[in-house]
Amino acid sequence: MRPTPPRRGRGPSDGAALPERAALLEGAAPLPRDFYARPPLVVARACIGKVLVHRTPEGIVAGRIVETEAYRGPEDLAAHSAGGRRTSRTEVMFGPAGYAYMFVLYGMHWAFNIVVASEGEPHAVLVRAIEPVLGLSIMSHRRGIAPDRVALSNGPGKLCQALALGRAAYGMDLCGARLYLLPGPAGPIGRSPRINVDYAGAWAQKPWRFYERGNRYVSVSPRH
């Protein structure tokens, strides 16, 4: 069964639609590594509408990806791998595609990234926002807010808290059985400059942010 299409009104709930949403996990296989082994801008756009799933001890949580950003190191000054910087933090970015790269925002919030392209090319795609589709009561408890609030997952740190993605997810194989992407439908896709990378000079103006137009879970109104 295909995931439910984008919602434009009230937020989703754990009500009668939950069994139908749960069916999207039945018999569905994680996206193959070939999906990730492509240029970062291609993958960042292709991720819109895909369903990010995390199987946790508390239960399965999932959401449609509605906002991403592409980072193309080492020439991209906004990337953590700018200038070929290779540290214990960025090491996974230099490996094969289809693995999770986690880092801390503002010293307190985790952010989830997907390593893409070819081994030795430190490229990544940041997932900035998701539209919750499964496990909303779990996400609500983790975030401490009502399940129909847009703040549940409309930002990189928020979605990581909702999905319980942190240090332990670093280097996790997205083609495995715990953390993965499933196929899903996307609405019209827009582009804009990336968020909070003004320090990168001209690179900050690159239209490397992708988002689903009209989706209320997109974190920041597009800048043009």
Structure tokens at 170: 């670093």
Distance of CA 53 to the CA centre of its chain: 10
Task: Give pLDDT, residue 17.
Answer: 44
**Tokens describing residue 33:** 């590594």
pLDDT (0 to 100) of residue 4 = 40
> What pLDDT does 20 receive?
52
The most distant pair of C-alpha atoms in the chain lies apart, rounded to whole Å, by 51
Residue with tokens 């930002």: 155
Position 63 confidence tier, pLDDT thresholds 50, 70, 90:
very high
* Cβ contacts of 63 within 8 Å, gap of 6 or more: 51, 52, 130, 131, 132, 133, 134, 153, 159, 162, 163
Q: What's residue 182's pLDDT?
A: 96
pLDDT reading at 192 higher than 60: yes
pLDDT above 60: residue 6: no
Residue 5, pLDDT score: 41
Angle among Cα 34, 39, 40 to the nearest 5 degrees reads 105
The pLDDT of residue 169 is 97
Q: Is the pLDDT of residue 3 over 60?
A: no
Tokens of 100: 């999770």
**pLDDT range class, residue 163, cuts 50, 70, 90:** very high
Per residue in 73-120, pLDDT (tens digit) is 899 888 988 878 788 888 999 999 999 999 998 778 999 999 999 999
d(CA 163, CA 134) in angstroms, rounded, equals 10
Cis peptide before 57 (omega within 30 of 0): no
- Tokens 């879970």 label which residue? 217
| 69 beta partners | 126, 209
Right CATH for 29-184+191-212 from 3.40.50.720, 3.10.300.10, 3.40.50.180, 3.40.190.10: 3.10.300.10
pLDDT at residue 11 greater than cutoff 60: no
- Closest by CA to 146, choosing from 162, 128, 130, is 162
pLDDT reported for residue 15: 34
For the stretch 22-56, pLDDT in tens is: 556 666 789 999 999 999 999 999 999 999 999 99
Proportion of the chain above pLDDT 90, given as a percent: 71
pLDDT at 78: 86
Residue pLDDT, tens place only, 128-156: 999 999 999 999 999 999 999 999 999 99
Residues 181-190: tens digit of each pLDDT:
999 999 999 9
